A and B are shown apart, each in its own frame.
Chain A
């Protein structure tokens, strides 16, 4: 396949997100300006200016009208996807790390980093349909996990919030009371900080990637460990294919392998694993730096990777991808 290279960001990528229909791709990077691209040909549509720090994460509403971005400048901004104007800014006391819209887009869960004496927290904000009525009030605040929380997402039917972070433990919280419902097992779970968490297309299981060079698949209700995928490099990002039984994992901070491939394309690769057999299917090379973000198009026919090199590579799969036999 011929990936489309998009070099809109001058600094490393942090997060990639497709909208629900798969025609827009939102990218966040350390260069303060989240960008939106057309997902079929990689053409840039626009950038959202306003943040003053690294944009760590973003989420887009189901109808693709609202974009929420969390940034290290301790604000979370709500944008109108179509234009550059920020509709609302949530202010925090610490850098905001992860944002996620709830099902129905009425709530958003935001995590903040530990900052000075402040502990990390998970906060839930109400999102008003009409942006003029938006307030900055938190519906719920959860404090407790040690260390940075890399990502927090909504569980099924917005009843729970799943969080994973630096202490390598995945936690399920009740979204109304804030009580801790479940924790992942320390022995069978990750051993090093969890860097990424992404849900499946139907939301019943999710994939976490960790610096312990493995990615794990968990059930979202019971938090049972379903599968483990082992790689040779610390995992920074992962995504589950909505179409086939594949997961893709990206990472890589360790020393480069000596390879035989050409020196033109970069050597950092996104590894494809068979979701059920846990075996490696193959790798797609090309990035010149560790891969920090991965996302599958909701139709499963293309995927995008964002790297430390500031490049976004959009790959439309060849027909052989769909015929891979294990």
Chain B
């Protein structure tokens, strides 16, 4: 690298002998502060042995945070405590940072009066059809107690459904292919959420409109399951442990069911609607909900169980195939022995299918298991 500055050999003074070699060195370069505030300065020197040395100095320049407090405020900071605060120990329980992150939750749709209803889906319906929602949906769906407010419909959706828009004022949005949020305008401005799924009405999967729904965007809502208390994972109706805590107040005409509810299988659904004969005892103890009925299509009947087989055994045996939502083993109350059969409900139908294929004929505790679909028509 040639030095730019013009110089004349002859004019160099004698005692700068050592220094003139410096003139062969490139001039120092400074790369100014970039977006991180880093500034680099590259210099070249000669060390004692006369070798060229490159020195890189990296500095980070930072803007000091503006002092927030005025002079008086700083002075006030040093005031003595008075009143009740005199005897306070530092770090007392009075002032504490919240454990929870609180968000400024944006409203879902940019409509001022809006009623929300959130539903859970059924797992594998083939298609969904929806009614054109020109008029408010009558509450045939679920007998909602006395609350005249929101009328809504439950919708089951296929996994890959993204967005669907229905008629006037109603919007369906599918979250992650699993659940549907129905938002529609209602004179009453109440917001009711968390309604369990009832009757099935749906819509064609492909129908989707871009406008209107894009404005919904991502709701800043935290998914919390009331059954297991886990946040952010699933809504209550999608809880894998859904039969553990049945909210009975949603349904007037159904007796609150417990997981061990057995023989009285003919639980009326939705105020006397037709219950198809595939409602078997034990197949779904919560009985009768449309959504649970869907789950019962993933129900597997296991027969020829040995007499000391119980629920945990079945659970352990079947869980390798997928998430098991519930297990039931018929037990003779008098003898305490298994009556030889039981039911296993899977979250996904494919898991149930695999379980059937693998475990049918499997030898378990000295007996050969028979594993089949609980409902005769499980295509």
Q: Which of A256-271 touch B at CB < 8 Å?
A: 257-265, 269
- Flag if B104 contacts A321 (CB, 8 Å): yes
A1-41 vs B, CB cutoff 8 Å, 1 = contact: the mask equals 11111111000000000000101100000000101011011
Which residue of chain B has the shortest Cβ distance to A321 in the bound complex? B104
Q: How many A-B residue pairs have CB under 8 A?
A: 153
Looking at the complex, which one of B94, B99, B100, B192 makes contact with A8 (CB distance below 8 Å)? B94
CA distance A41 to B103 in the complex (A): 19
CB contacts (< 8 Å) of B106 on chain A: these are 281-282
Say if the beta carbon of B221 comes within 8 Å of chain A: yes
How distant is B147 from chain A, measured CB to nearest CB, in Å?
Answer: 9
- Flag if B102 contacts A7 (CB, 8 Å): no
- Whether A47 contacts B85 in the complex (CB less than 8 A), given A23-B76, A64-B72, comes out as yes
A207-244 vs B, CB cutoff 8 Å, 1 = contact: the mask equals 00000000000000000000000101000000000000
- Whether A260 contacts B112 in the complex (CB less than 8 A), given A2-B97, A3-B98, A4-B97, comes out as no
How distant is B97 from chain A, measured CB to nearest CB, in Å?
Answer: 5
A32-67 vs B, CB cutoff 8 Å, 1 = contact: the mask equals 010101101111111111000000000000011000
- Flag if B85 contacts A7 (CB, 8 Å): no
- Flag if B102 contacts A33 (CB, 8 Å): no
Say if the beta carbon of A315 comes within 8 Å of chain B: yes
Looking at the complex, which one of A1, A47, A230, A262 makes contact with B231 (CB distance below 8 Å)? A262
CA distance A8 to B102 in the complex (A): 21
Looking at the complex, which one of A40, A48, A263, A282 makes contact with B104 (CB distance below 8 Å)? A282
> Which of A115-123, A143-151, A283-291 forms contacts with chain B?
A283-291
- Flag if B194 contacts A44 (CB, 8 Å): no
CB contacts (< 8 Å) of B69 on chain A: these are 21, 23, 40
Say if the beta carbon of B101 comes within 8 Å of chain A: yes
- Flag if A283 contacts B104 (CB, 8 Å): yes
Say if the beta carbon of B77 comes within 8 Å of chain A: yes
- Flag if B84 contacts A46 (CB, 8 Å): yes
Which residue of chain A has the shortest Cβ distance to B84 in the bound complex? A47
CB contacts (< 8 Å) of B105 on chain A: these are 269, 282-285
Looking at the complex, which one of A2, A43, A47, A232 makes contact with B83 (CB distance below 8 Å)? A47
Say if the beta carbon of A93 comes within 8 Å of chain B: no
- Whether A45 contacts B101 in the complex (CB less than 8 A), given A258-B194, A280-B112, comes out as no
Say if the beta carbon of A176 comes within 8 Å of chain B: no
Secondary structure type dominating chain A contacts: loop
CA distance A278 to B100 in the complex (A): 29
B226-267 vs A, CB cutoff 8 Å, 1 = contact: the mask equals 100001000110000000000000000000000000000000
Say if the beta carbon of B118 comes within 8 Å of chain A: yes
- Whether A4 contacts B95 in the complex (CB less than 8 A), given A47-B85, A261-B222, A265-B100, comes out as yes
Looking at the complex, which one of A258, A263, A269, A317 makes contact with B193 (CB distance below 8 Å)? A258
- Flag if B191 contacts A259 (CB, 8 Å): yes
- Flag if B83 contacts A4 (CB, 8 Å): no
- Flag if A21 contacts B73 (CB, 8 Å): yes
- Flag if B81 contacts A45 (CB, 8 Å): yes
Which residue of chain B has the shortest Cβ distance to A326 in the bound complex? B110
CB contacts (< 8 Å) of A286 on chain B: these are 98, 100, 102
Say if the beta carbon of A182 comes within 8 Å of chain B: no
How distant is A231 from chain B, measured CB to nearest CB, in Å?
Answer: 8
- Flag if B98 contacts A4 (CB, 8 Å): yes
Which residue of chain B has the shortest Cβ distance to A314 in the bound complex? B95
- Flag if B79 contacts A44 (CB, 8 Å): no
How many chain-B residues does the 8 Å CB contact rule pick out?
Answer: 48
Say if the beta carbon of B107 comes within 8 Å of chain A: yes
Say if the beta carbon of B190 comes within 8 Å of chain A: yes
- Whether A3 contacts B231 in the complex (CB less than 8 A), given A23-B76, A84-B83, comes out as no
- Flag if A260 contacts B190 (CB, 8 Å): no
How distant is A315 from chain B, measured CB to nearest CB, in Å?
Answer: 7
Secondary structure type dominating chain B contacts: loop
A237-254 vs B, CB cutoff 8 Å, 1 = contact: the mask equals 000000000000000000
- Whether A38 contacts B77 in the complex (CB less than 8 A), given A23-B69, A260-B224, A262-B224, comes out as yes
A63-104 vs B, CB cutoff 8 Å, 1 = contact: the mask equals 110000000000000000011100000000000000000000
- Flag if B102 contacts A264 (CB, 8 Å): no
Say if the beta carbon of A173 comes within 8 Å of chain B: no
Say if the beta carbon of B33 comes within 8 Å of chain A: no
CB contacts (< 8 Å) of A282 on chain B: these are 103-107, 220
Looking at the complex, which one of B68, B79, B94, B101 makes contact with A7 (CB distance below 8 Å)? B94
How distant is B111 from chain A, measured CB to nearest CB, in Å?
Answer: 9
- Flag if B82 contacts A46 (CB, 8 Å): yes
Looking at the complex, which one of B86, B102, B190 makes contact with A257 (CB distance below 8 Å)? B190
Say if the beta carbon of A272 comes within 8 Å of chain B: yes
How distant is A307 from chain B, measured CB to nearest CB, in Å?
Answer: 14
- Flag if A281 contacts B104 (CB, 8 Å): yes
Looking at the complex, which one of A23, A24, A33, A232 makes contact with B191 (CB distance below 8 Å)? A232
CB contacts (< 8 Å) of B221 on chain A: these are 260-261
CA distance A89 to B8 in the complex (A): 91
- Whether A279 contacts B104 in the complex (CB less than 8 A), given A5-B96, A262-B231, comes out as no
CA distance A230 to B73 in the complex (A): 38
- Flag if B102 contacts A259 (CB, 8 Å): no
- Flag if A2 contacts B102 (CB, 8 Å): yes
- Flag if B104 contacts A272 (CB, 8 Å): yes
CB contacts (< 8 Å) of A33 on chain B: these are 83-84
Say if the beta carbon of B206 comes within 8 Å of chain A: no
Say if the beta carbon of B223 comes within 8 Å of chain A: yes
CB contacts (< 8 Å) of B84 on chain A: these are 8, 33, 35, 44, 46-47, 49
- Flag if A5 contacts B98 (CB, 8 Å): yes
Looking at the complex, which one of B73, B95, B191, B192 makes contact with A43 (CB distance below 8 Å)? B95
Say if the beta carbon of B189 comes within 8 Å of chain A: yes
Looking at the complex, which one of B76, B81, B96 makes contact with A24 (CB distance below 8 Å)? B76
The 7 A-B pairs with the shortest beta carbon distances in the complex, nearest first, are: A47-B83, A46-B82, A23-B73, A47-B84, A42-B95, A46-B83, A282-B104
* Given contact pairs A1-B103, A44-B94, A46-B82, a sample of 20 additional A-B residue pairs in the complex whose CB atoms are under 8 Å apart: A2-B100, A5-B97, A23-B76, A37-B95, A45-B81, A46-B81, A82-B82, A257-B193, A258-B193, A260-B194, A279-B112, A280-B112, A281-B104, A281-B107, A282-B106, A283-B104, A283-B107, A313-B98, A320-B104, A324-B104
A-B contact pairs, 5 of them (CB 8 A): A3-B98, A3-B102, A49-B84, A260-B222, A281-B107
Report which B residues bind A (CB closer than 8 A).
68-70, 72-73, 76-77, 79, 81-86, 88, 93-107, 110, 112, 118, 189-194, 220-224, 226, 231, 235-236
